[in-house]
Every structure is written in C-alpha cells, then in structure tokens.
Amino acid sequence: MSDARESVELLRKETAFQGYFKVVRYFFRHSLHKGGTSDIISREVFERGQAGAVLLYDPGRDEVVLIRQFRAGAYVAGHHPFTWELVAGIIEEGETAEDMVRREVGEEAGLTVGDVLPIQNVMLTPGACSEACQVFVGRIDAANAGGVFGLASEGEDILVKVLSFADAYAMVERNEVDNAVGVIGLQWLALHREELRKRWR
C-alpha cells in the first residue's frame, strides 16, 4: 500500500564505477513521514539490468529442475560458493522477461519450456541495487533432464539436477537453497502445487 504523499526528487546522478558491472551515484531529496523534505542524500546504486528466473516443474512426475554454479558473491559472503538456483538471466534490449527465461532454459539447462506463469516481481536488494527479478514457473518434461550446460564464452559451468518436489523443498528447509529467488519459487510451488498439477495435467 503506497501513500500519495510519498515523493522523491532526483537532483543529479554520476557514474561512480564502470567495469563488468556499473555503480551510479544518485543525489535525492524525498518526503518525510512526519512532513517536510529530507536534506540532499547521496546513494551509490549497483546497476546490472533487470532479471528474470523460472522454476522448472514437471507436473506429471512432480519433479523440479535446479541448477548449480559458482557464485563470487556467495563466496565473498562466506556462504558455500556453489549455489542451487532457478534458471535465470538478465533481460536484453528488446526482450521480454518471458522471452529471456525461455532462451536461458535452453542455454543453462538444455531444455525447452512449455507453459509459463508469472509468480512474483521482486526487488532483490532495494537498498543498494536497481535489479528486480520477474519470477516464473515453467512447465517442462524432466524425463531426460540433467547434465552440465552453459555458454563457454561466458565462463558458465552449470550442473543441471532433477529432484522430486519433496527433496527440493527439504533443501529449502535445510537452508541448502539460500538465494532469495530460489526460495521464492519453491515456496510458491509448495503453496500452489496441487492447483498447478490440476491445471497442467
């Protein structure tokens, strides 16, 4: 629920860093909850584009497909450096989120996805990053899924694993799926699985 009295004025911005990723320094003033306006505040924002992700689900076999790959951020944070995730990627110019996840499913998992339904559009780290992720659930045939995929040109080495829904959800409960998008997708499926299996039978 938003409040019409909440407002932000962007005064200026400047590029603070440009490398593999980009950091932009913004200068704002915003409304205050008790009335009036804030002083000028400066915030650096990590900008890497907008993302999409898809939980791959086979309703007949009641199986999901997860991927596992090295993640520098997880390593630096002291988590296990290889993470269980949903297929995901950055949306390219002229592409919709659904177009992107369909492309990435082929590149990262060697699969073709059928029906795709949106789950949630979430900000991942709103205090520091402009990235939002549109999360989907996608229908697949998991009978022949598995292996190692990814684009060598992008340094990708992606393990593809088929798991029963029960086993995948148990990984969430043991904190073995420790990234927000993976947890969101599997929690959503836990809540809507029976309904989805009827819809996709």
Neighbour-count burial for 124-158, b at 16+ CB within 10 Å, e otherwise: eeeeeebbbbbbbbbbbebeebeeebbeeeeeeeb
Out of 47, 85, 154, 173, the active site residue is 154
Helix (H, G, I), strand (E, B) or coil at 139: strand
Question: What DSSP character marks residue 181?
Answer: H
Separation of alpha carbons 41 and 26, rounded Å: 8
Strand pairing category for 147-149 and 8-18: unpaired
Which among 99, 91, 107 has a CA at the least distance from the CA of 160? 107
Give the CA angle between residues 65, 66, 68 to the nearest 5°. Answer: 145
Q: Which of the 8 DSSP states describes residue 185?
A: H
- Cα 167 from Cα 135, distance rounded (Å): 21
Is 98 labeled as catalytic in the residue annotation?
A: no
**Among residues 154, 185, 152, which one has the least CA distance to residue 168?**
185
Provide the H-helix boundaries in 77-164.
Answer: 97-109
Q: Enumerate the active-site residues.
A: 154
